[in-house]
Amino acid sequence: MRRIPYFDNTRGKEEKMSSELIEKALTTATETHDIVFGDNVTDQTGRMFTTLFPGKKVLVVADGNTFAATGDAVVASLKEAGVDFADDPYIFPGTPTLYAGYENVEVLREYIRPFEEAIVCSIGSGSLNDIAKLASGELGREYMNVCTAPSVDGFAAFGASIARDGFKITRSCPAPAGLIADTEVVCNSPQRLIATGYGDLIEKIPAGADWILADALGIEAINEYVWNMVQGPLRASLADPVAIGKGDKQAIEGLMEGNLMSGLAMQAGQSSRSASGAGHQFSHTWEMEGHGLDWEPPLSHGFKVGIGTIASCAIWEEFLKMDVEDFDIDHALASVKSPEEVEAKVRSLLQPRMQDEAVRHSLKKRTEGEKLVARINLLKEKWPELRERCKAQLMSPGDVMDRLKAVGAPYHPELIEIDWERFRETHVKAQMIRDRYTVFDILVDLGVYDKVVEHLFSEEGFWGQHRHPEV
């Protein structure tokens, strides 16, 4: 059993962890105090609850599917530990699939509000965890979660990804105080939830390259500790998509561990930089546009992120083909758009509800004059070493595509019903919606991003050669 210890002087000697990275991660986590990860550990739910929340009553929250997965065992463990129940378990319907919409946060928040001394113990994967996280956070309460699938990296992360009026963003709220991740439960979750967890995790590969770039250009320094929390276990967690797709227990455990570490890294860094780069911005764009929200089940975050990862790696592949001689300062300066032109382009492409924030982010990233000259000169100076570092970090877009296919995730935009023109346009939109510096932005600074996208969709480019999923 792998265990992240909760340091409490009232308890006995802790078990030694097999992963020193995970053990150390808890010492810098700002909200999560206890994680139990291993075989048949659901029976420790009650112990964790009484340790973290002495004297508190519990409100068990689940949906029909997650309660069926492990609800009885959770309730039994809480009762055996002597925990008082404020009410019977609150169970959302299992059909249609529960979605992380703000309306469900409001329902849960108002249900738990009268139970002032009660703490939520949620049972679920991404959506249920985020709903419980935000509902508890809005009431200023801690909570804990029993994981049921390795579907996201957000279990141990601060913030909840919640849609409101069709617009999905990460809303601020604390991470869980404790997590139970029983491998027997997690490894028996639906295959689509396992595959979506792989899609979310693999984007950490190009996100790492984006951070290397931002660090080299003096925009956002790499926090080595946080970097290692994500990148340290990442390759091993992603190593065998075929085994993960076939339900191999050890491989799925590795996937779950990678996602837990990613969430803890976001806590330690108080930022999602370590876990989210340009690939996530494709997913965020589609989520903000409401794509797949009305599907049954809703189109998952990880499935969209997986497609974005392929796209990001394809953009990186084009960038890394460039030489210092291609970084033309005069061309870059001549290509800079005025603030008015930037705003006009954003408003012409994005839905009204997305425009104001996107304008703010786009203008914040806009660079001109001496600052732009200095940035490109720095890029030229560091390019030989930077290119080699990023080559070592990245996977090819074809490799990512093959891995997603092997794990059983969508591996082409048409498989998530994004048509060709919309996909191409998303390459432009995605650059607009965040002020985080990524491969998008260096190519915009150089004045060559439109040319790169045009090449990617030409007959010789990556997407021109992979126009349909059967190719």
CATH number of 192-220+273-465: 1.20.1090
How do residues 427-437 score in pLDDT, each as one tens digit?
Answer: 999 999 999 99
Average pLDDT over residues 43-47: 97
- Give yes or no for residue 59 having a pLDDT over 90: yes
Q: Please give the CATH topology (third level) of the domain spanning 2-189.
A: Rossmann fold (3.40.50)
Cβ atoms of 312 and 206 closer than 8 Å: yes
Q: How confident is residue 471, by pLDDT bands cut at 50, 70 and 90?
A: low
The mean per-residue pLDDT over the stretch 271-295 comes to 93
Predicted local confidence at residue 10, as pLDDT: 29
- Please compute the mean of the pLDDT values over residues 76-87 and round it to a whole number: 98
Angle (CA) 179 193 199, round 5°: 100
pLDDT beyond 60 at 22 = yes
Neighbouring CB atoms inside 10 A of 376's CB total 22
With residues binned 3-state (H G I as helix, E B as strand, rest as coil), the percentages for the chain, rounded to 5, are 55, 10, 35
203 confidence band (pLDDT: 50, 70, 90): very high
> Which pLDDT belongs to residue 16?
33
State the pTM of this model.
0.92
Q: Which residues pair with 92 in a beta bridge?
A: 63
Q: pLDDT tens-digit profile of 137-159?
A: 999 999 999 999 999 988 998 88
**Phi and psi for 441 in degrees, rounded to 5?**
-80, -30
Q: Burial-class residue 323 by CB neighbours within 10 Å (0-12, 13-18, 19+).
A: exposed
Q: Is 116 exposed, middle or buried (0-12, 13-18, 19+ CB in 10 A)?
A: exposed
Band (pLDDT 50/70/90 cuts) for residue 351 is very high
pLDDT for 29 equals 86
pLDDT of residue 168: 67
pLDDT value of residue 372: 98
CATH 1.20.1090 positions along the chain are 192-220+273-465
Least confident of 17-26, 114-123, 299-308: 17-26
Is the model's pLDDT at 12 over the cut of 50?
no
H/E stretch holding 237 reads helix 224-238
Share the mean pLDDT of the chain. Answer: 92
pLDDT more than 90, % of the chain: 83
| pLDDT at residue 99, as a whole number | 86
Question: Tell me, what's the pLDDT at 409?
Answer: 98
The predicted structure's pLDDT at residue 20: 63
* Among the listed residues 281, 255, 296, 276, the one whose alpha carbon sits nearest the alpha carbon of residue 408: 255
Rounded distance between C-alpha atoms, residue 318 and residue 337, angstroms? 23
pLDDT at 422: 98
Which residues touch 25 (CB under 8 Å, ≥6 apart)?
4, 229, 261, 264, 265, 268
- Average the pLDDT over 32-57 and give the result: 95
- Could you tell me the maximum CA-CA distance found in the chain, to the nearest angstrom? 72
Model confidence at 391: pLDDT above 60: yes
Whether the per-residue pLDDT at 18 is higher than 50: the answer is no
| Cα–Cα distance for residue pair 342/285, rounded to 1 Å | 18
Cβ atoms < 10 Å from Cβ of 85 = 15
In this prediction, residue 7 carries a pLDDT of: 29
Is 192 a residue whose pLDDT tops 70? yes
Residue ranges matching CATH 3.40.50.1970 in the chain: 2-189
329: β partners: none
The band of 370, judged by pLDDT with boundaries at 50, 70 and 90, is very high
Contacts of 466 (CB under 8 A, 6+ apart): 401, 412
Angle between helices 191-202 and 204-216 (to 10 degrees): 20
pLDDT (tens digit, 9 = 90+) per residue, 158-171? 888 888 775 667 78
Predicted pLDDT of residue 167: 62
